[in-house]
């Protein structure tokens, strides 16, 4: 089982979009895949067609009341299941303050789950609180979605420091798998400069003892695409909503890289994205 936390403390960089559509791509490839929506905004839950608060228990009950994971799982497609979120999950930060080992609750729940998955993908909130710590303690890998802007690079070193602390103190198996560029526009000089800066950053920070020692910049680029912005409002992944779009092509290619295969897509200017503008805040993840 591969447990992957999809994390960036900056909002709007494509965490939820990547979690949902990467999970759908892995499920489409025949892998049994589970999504854990740890963001109280519940965007991944909505993206996969569930209504927070109306679809039964959520991860709030799992973390605060000890509800077993199978009690809150929902099948949302072939090989694809989700444990949803709810706005109440925001209260877990306060409710768990006095709980011993509160950062390990999710890990223990996954270890106790009798069902086995090929992939568990965790959609983390845009913060470094107890929910994110639970994901980092439960995960074995971290995937960092990043927008190709210089400001998006600003918090990367702080994020890596946090991952290193968690790796050193509570989860020595935690590693950074790499960075995937989202909302990418290949025709811009800025995008190419950010790619060069990222490669130089990881080369300069290379340390065999660090959790990012094997981190890489994935060759797949998730291009800005209007279909990716539209599909959450229909409660569908990109493979259900627009299976022939370049958004579907990009996430299928990323799934191939995650599985150790060569990326399948070629990144060039995307005519579909020309009228897309920015992803709405609700959908960006």
pLDDT number for residue 90: 92
Domain ranges within the chain, ordered by starting residue: 2-284
pTM above threshold 0.85: yes
Q: What is the pLDDT of residue 206?
A: 67
Q: Where are the beta strands (DSSP E) in the chain?
A: 2-6, 33-37, 73-77, 80-83, 119-123, 141-147, 175-184, 216-223
pLDDT score at 278:
36
- Distance (Å, rounded) from C-alpha 259 to C-alpha 140? 15
pLDDT in tens, the chain (285 residues): 999 999 998 878 889 999 999 999 999 999 999 999 999 999 999 999 999 888 889 999 999 999 999 999 999 999 999 999 999 999 998 899 888 889 999 999 999 999 999 999 999 998 888 999 999 999 999 999 998 777 767 778 788 888 999 999 889 999 999 999 998 876 666 767 777 877 777 776 667 777 877 888 899 999 989 999 999 999 999 999 999 999 999 999 999 999 999 887 555 444 444 334 333 333 334
Architecture of domain 2-284: 3-Layer(aba) Sandwich (3.40)
- Rounded to whole angstroms, the Cα distance separating 285 from 278 reads 12
Distance of alpha carbon 34 from alpha carbon 123, whole angstroms: 11
């Amino acid at each position: 089982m591969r447990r992957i936390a999809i994390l960036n403390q900056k909002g709007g960089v494509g965490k939820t979009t990547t979690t949902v559509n990467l999970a759908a791509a892995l499920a489409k490839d025949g892998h049994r895949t589970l999504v854990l929506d740890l963001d109280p905004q519940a965007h991944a839950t909505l993206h996969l067609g569930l209504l927070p608060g109306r679809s039964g228990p959520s991860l709030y009950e799992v973390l605060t009341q000890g509800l077993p994971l199978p009690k809150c799982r929902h099948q949302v497609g072939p090989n694809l299941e989700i444990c949803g979120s709810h706005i109440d999950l925001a209260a877990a930060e306060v409710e768990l303050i006095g709980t011993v080992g509160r950062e390990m609750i999710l890990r223990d729940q996954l270890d106790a789950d009798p069902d086995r998955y090929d992939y568990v993908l965790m959609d983390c909130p845009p913060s470094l609180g107890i929910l994110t710590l639970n994901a980092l303690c439960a995960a074995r890998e971290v995937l960092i979605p990043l927008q190709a802007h210089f400001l998006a690079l600003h918090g990367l070193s702080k994020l890596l420091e946090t991952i290193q602390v968690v790796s050193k103190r509570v989860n020595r198996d935690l590693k950074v798998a790499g960075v995937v560029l989202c909302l990418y526009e290949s025709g811009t000089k800025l995008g190419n400069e950010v790619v060069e800066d990222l490669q130089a950053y990881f080369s300069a920070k290379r340390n065999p003892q660090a959790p990012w020692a094997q981190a890489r910049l994935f060759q797949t680029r998730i291009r800005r695409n209007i279909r990716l912005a539209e599909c959450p409002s229909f409660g569908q992944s990109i493979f259900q909503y627009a299976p022939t779009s370049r958004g579907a092509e990009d996430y299928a290619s990323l799934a191939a890289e995650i599985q150790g295969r060569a990326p399948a897509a070629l990144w060039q200017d995307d005519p579909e994205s020309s009228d897309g503008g920015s992803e709405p805040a609700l959908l960006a993840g």
